[in-house]
Structure formats: structure tokens, C-alpha cells
Amino acid sequence: MLSRTLQDAVNQQIKNELFSAYLYLAMSAHFEAQALPGFAKWMRLQAKEEVKHAMKLFDFVNDRGGRVTLEAIEKPPVEFKGCADVMAQVLEHEKKVTGMIHSLYAQALKENDYPAQVMLHWFIGEQVEEEKTAADILAELKMVGDSPAGIVMVDRELGKRGEE
């Protein structure tokens, strides 16, 4: 059984993961409006991944005899600047999520909740991957700068996500 403190913290993280999905969907809509279908697809798939993360936490609370309580998700921004700026926001957001996961893990350690620690190990590894991917895309965008041909090249590359 989860402690009330850890249950509340995991419920908050469910909300945070769903906000991440909303944020990435907003970014996808932005890229669709900019005629950048590869960026839009990448963000849409990223949003789906965030929903899966939320559901993993949702199932964990239920599996441990806890109670999931869903809270309102704040509205994400709808206006964004260029591609590099958006990816910089993604990287910063993922770093923020990493901090949230680390806080959850610290609470699980404090409570000697071994099942929560094991589950959160997966999220810790996932966050390493999320930050690296965002940083790699941002680095590539910085290399191409404002070059329309470079942006199109990156757009095509990102559009291949899910085809591997």
C-alpha cells in the first residue's frame, strides 16, 4: 500500500505527465501551422509517449491499492518562436520533469518504498533518454541556424520517427 504522501506525489506526477502531453500537442499544432510536418509528427508522438508515462503511474497507484485523483491541467502556450526556441523549451521542460522524478524517488527512498523505487528507476532512465534526444535535436538546429534548407532537412529527419 502506498503512503498518502507518496500517493499524492504520484498523482501530482500523473498531472505533470499529462501537462507534458498537452504542451507537446500545442507544439505539434504550432508546427502544423508552420508547414513543418516532421516536427509536428515528432511532437505528436512525444505527446503520446507522455500519456503512456501518465498511465504507467496511474496503473502503479491502482496496483498498490491507492486512489488516483486527477486534477485540472493548465492550458499550455499556443504561440512559439522558431524551431530551435521550441526545442530549447522542450529540453528545459524535460529537465524540469527529471527534477520531479528525482523528488518522487527521494520520497520513495525516505519511505523505504521499494516497489516505488523500482518503478521510478524506469522513469529515471527514460529521462536521461528524453534530455539527450532534445539536446541532440537542439544542437542540430543550432548548426543549421536559420537556413530554410537546413530546417527542411531536420523536419524530414524528425518525420521518420516511428518508422524504425
84 found inside a domain: yes
Q: Tell me the per-residue pLDDT of 14-23, one tens digit each, with 9 for 90 and over.
A: 999 999 999 9
CATH number at residue 82: 1.20.1260.10
* pLDDT score recorded for residue 1: 87
Nearest 10 degrees: CA dihedral of 3, 8, 9, 13? 130
Q: Is the pLDDT of residue 4 over 80?
A: yes
% pLDDT > 90, the chain: 96
Report if residue 153 sits inside a domain: yes
Judge whether 10 lies within some domain: yes
Report the number of distinct structural domains present in the chain. 1
pLDDT at 6: 98
Please state the pTM of the whole predicted model. 0.95
Phi (first) and psi of residue 81, to 5 degrees: -90, -145
- In a domain? residue 130: yes
How far apart CA 78 and CA 65 sit, in angstroms, is 38
Question: Which of 40, 44, 43, 19 lies closest to 31 in space, CA to CA?
Answer: 40
Band the pLDDT of 164: cuts 50, 70, 90: low
Q: Is the model more confident about 66 or about 161? A: 66
Domain encompassing residue 58: 4-159
- pLDDT attached to residue 163: 74
Question: Residue 61 falls within a domain, yes or no?
Answer: yes
Q: Degrees (nearest 5) of the Cα angle 104, 107, 112?
A: 125
Domain-located, residue 164: no
What is the pLDDT, as a whole number, of residue 162? 81
